[in-house]
Chains A and B, each alone.
Chain A
Amino acid sequence: MSVVKDGFGRDDAGDERNEHGFPGGSPYVPSARRLERERYRRVRARRATAVAALSTLVTGVVVYLLVVSAPGWPRTRETFFNGQYAREAFPKVVEGLWLNLRLLLVCGAAVLVLGMLIAVARTLRGPVFFPLRVLAAAYTDFFRGLPLIINLMIVVLGVPALRLQGVTVDPVLLGGTALTLTYSAYVAEVFRAGIESVHPSQRAAARSLGLSNRQALRFVVLPQAVRRQVPPLLNDLVSLQKDTGLVSIGGAVDAVRAADIIVGRSLNYTPYIVAGLVFVALTIPMTRFTDWVTARMDRRRAQGGTT
């Protein structure tokens, strides 16, 4: 019998030592091996950072030189990157952006709710819900296929033409409605794919606990589905944010239209660049935020490990 006193390492744990050997008991001193390993990893990390910085710098310089050395660069800079027009356009664009933001918030919320309802309607089981399933399927088929711009024109221009009593003719409200109609169809499909991607064993486990179909969906399936759908949902929301600009076809002045007005007057395209950058600047924090949220959820849940 070799009660481990024989060999390698320091694992000669006698009972005495082990009795007070629980975490916090015997003080742990990192071995030379560990220190060496950590030193190596630090060197590696530093080198990786240096390589990343260098390659970024080189790429930046190459792109800059490529653009600047283009034959049409001076003219392009004058028409697209004019500081004076940029300063003039910026406040107007930001003013217009407020409309885009309000549309995004209201339509985004409406789209999420409506999309979820449609998705759930499509996944309902049972013969009673047959008409609901068909309606939901028809809705997504139709509005996903219909080009947004045509949808907008029908709603924004067509509805006022009906001259219905009590129905708004406000282009912003109507435009928002059209956006919601189209995007709900997209988002419904995203949600449905998420619901169906949850492994059937999860539904089985939930039903086995006595949860009804609806409860299983609400407490077990949807939370998992939504978690997976965050990136594609964000995609659709960013896309929606940009498409809010299309309500300007009804005459509303948003960021793009504001830029458009100045361009029309000056024949200088800088305001478009300004408007574009403002939109980009708006989406970046949103993306980072959702990345952070999903990463945090993963960390709290994951088994850990290196893969």
Chain B
Amino acid sequence: MNDGDLPVLRMESVRKTFGGSVVLRDVGIEVPPHTVTALIGASGSGKSTLLRCANLLEDIDDGAIWLDGEEITDPRVDQDAVRRRIGVVFQAYNLFPHMTVLENITLAPRRVHGVPRAEAEQRAVELLERLGLGGRAGEYPDRLSGGQQQRVAIARALAVRPRLLLLDEITAALDPELVGEVLNVVRDLKGDGMTMMLATHEMGFAREVADQVCFLDSGVVLERGTAEQVFGDPQHDRTRRFLRRIVEAGRL
């Protein structure tokens, strides 16, 4: 995982509280370029919050986050400029129901990045083809299956050629038979060298694609390592217990 490059994303001592509850206590993470980092941990361990913090959708209480060496948690920074470089795919797709698939995908390229319509649409169609959604460009999101909607959401995030892709439990709302089609897309993206950080419950998938696995527990990264290390030889009692529960649930 360490190829010496500047990490795309770096978090240091990140703390985030909601009211009285401390969700992230002291989190440090580095995501090197062209690698995949998987966040695992029990529900409520702060995986989603961590991703939301990385996209500045949440203000952090303390600590700092860097994107390509620039501190993005500095209050002087232009948050929109930061978000332009990060793609996010949400658990519930969050597609815009009043726009067609094509409009969903071309919205940001055209309105934010000023790409001419024809060019944006051509790129969108290419993305759709690649994601196995050729011919769906004119449909409205509500008429697609969950797996198709999630692939559209991925296409929407990719359309602006982000530096980093954040994937938040993107298969959690999908049928098992539809999970595969979405994970295949992620696998392909890894093949292209896309830098990604993903929160997931799909341990088998995390094991397969992740260069780095981080186990979050009570607000800290309790254990970090390659997939073999974390899944094969966990050092911490809590990690072992968590993985045992997963195995018992038949998810690994």
- CB contacts under 8 Å to A, within B183-199, are none
Check A4/B233 contact, CB under 8 A, given A18-B218, A34-B61, A37-B75.
no
Q: Which of B18, B73, B225 contacts A2 (CB 8 A)?
A: B225
Contacts of A10 in B (CB 8 A): 13, 26, 28
Asked if A218 is at the interface of the complex by the 8 Å CB criterion, the answer is no
User: Roughly how many angstroms separate A2 CA and B57 CA in the complex, as a whole number?
Assistant: 30
Q: Which chain B residue shows the least CB distance to A13?
A: B220
User: Roughly how many angstroms separate A286 CA and B25 CA in the complex, as a whole number?
Assistant: 43
Can you list 16 A-B pairs with a CB-CB distance of less than 8 A? A1-B235, A3-B224, A3-B235, A4-B222, A7-B30, A10-B26, A11-B13, A11-B28, A13-B26, A21-B219, A23-B20, A23-B25, A28-B25, A31-B13, A34-B62, A306-B56
Asked if A265 is at the interface of the complex by the 8 Å CB criterion, the answer is no
Asked if A75 is at the interface of the complex by the 8 Å CB criterion, the answer is no
Contacts of A41 in B (CB 8 A): 75
Asked if A305 is at the interface of the complex by the 8 Å CB criterion, the answer is yes
Q: Check B97 against A199 for contact (C-beta < 8 Å).
A: yes
**1/0 per position for B163-178, CB-CB distance to A under 8 A?**
0000000000000000
Contacts of A2 in B (CB 8 A): 224-225, 229
Q: Which chain A residue shows the least CB distance to B233?
A: A1
- CB contacts under 8 Å to A, within B1-29, are 10-13, 15, 18, 20-22, 25-28
Contacts of A4 in B (CB 8 A): 28, 221-224
Closest chain-B Cβ to A305's Cβ sits at a distance in Å of 5
User: Roughly how many angstroms separate A9 CA and B12 CA in the complex, as a whole number?
Assistant: 5
User: Roughly how many angstroms separate A201 CA and B238 CA in the complex, as a whole number?
Assistant: 40
Closest chain-B Cβ to A147's Cβ sits at a distance in Å of 35
Q: Check A31 against B63 for contact (C-beta < 8 Å).
A: yes
Check A9/B26 contact, CB under 8 A, given A3-B236, A18-B220, A34-B62.
yes
Asked if B211 is at the interface of the complex by the 8 Å CB criterion, the answer is no
**1/0 per position for B212-249, CB-CB distance to A under 8 A?**
00000111111111100100010111100000000000
Q: Which chain B residue shows the least CB distance to A11?
A: B28
Asked if B139 is at the interface of the complex by the 8 Å CB criterion, the answer is no
Q: Check B62 against A305 for contact (C-beta < 8 Å).
A: no
Asked if A227 is at the interface of the complex by the 8 Å CB criterion, the answer is no
User: Roughly how many angstroms separate A66 CA and B26 CA in the complex, as a whole number?
Assistant: 59
- Report the contact-size class of chain A (Cβ under 8 Å from the partner): 20 to 34
Contacts of A37 in B (CB 8 A): 73-75
Asked if A40 is at the interface of the complex by the 8 Å CB criterion, the answer is yes
Q: Check A9 against B217 for contact (C-beta < 8 Å).
A: no
Q: Which of A4, A305, A307 has the most CB of B within 10 A?
A: A4
Q: Which chain B residue shows the least CB distance to A37?
A: B75
A-side residues, CB < 8 A to B, are 1-4, 7-11, 13, 15, 18, 21-23, 28, 30-31, 33-34, 37, 40-41, 44, 199-201, 304-307
User: Roughly how many angstroms separate A139 CA and B240 CA in the complex, as a whole number?
Assistant: 69
Q: Check A305 against B15 for contact (C-beta < 8 Å).
A: no
Additional 17 contacts, C-beta under 8 A, given A7-B30, A8-B30, A18-B218 = A1-B235, A4-B221, A9-B28, A10-B26, A13-B220, A21-B25, A21-B218, A21-B219, A28-B25, A30-B62, A33-B64, A34-B61, A34-B62, A41-B75, A201-B142, A305-B52, A306-B59
User: Roughly how many angstroms separate A134 CA and B63 CA in the complex, as a whole number?
Assistant: 63
Asked if B58 is at the interface of the complex by the 8 Å CB criterion, the answer is yes
Contacts of A21 in B (CB 8 A): 25, 218-220
Contacts of A44 in B (CB 8 A): 75
Q: Which of B11, B25, B57, B225 has the most CB of A within 10 A?
A: B25
User: Roughly how many angstroms separate A30 CA and B63 CA in the complex, as a whole number?
Assistant: 9
Q: Check A15 against B76 for contact (C-beta < 8 Å).
A: no
Q: Which of B28, B63, B225, B236 has the most CB of A within 10 A?
A: B28
**1/0 per position for B58-70, CB-CB distance to A under 8 A?**
1101111000000
Closest chain-B Cβ to A196's Cβ sits at a distance in Å of 13
Q: Check A33 against B75 for contact (C-beta < 8 Å).
A: no
Q: Check B233 against A13 for contact (C-beta < 8 Å).
A: no
Q: Which of A13, A28, A33, A41 has the most CB of B within 10 A?
A: A13
User: Roughly how many angstroms separate A21 CA and B225 CA in the complex, as a whole number?
Assistant: 22
Q: Check A9 against B21 for contact (C-beta < 8 Å).
A: no
Closest chain-B Cβ to A201's Cβ sits at a distance in Å of 8
Q: Check A304 against B18 for contact (C-beta < 8 Å).
A: yes
Closest chain-B Cβ to A44's Cβ sits at a distance in Å of 7
Q: Check A22 against B218 for contact (C-beta < 8 Å).
A: yes
Check A7/B28 contact, CB under 8 A, given A40-B76, A305-B52, A306-B56.
yes
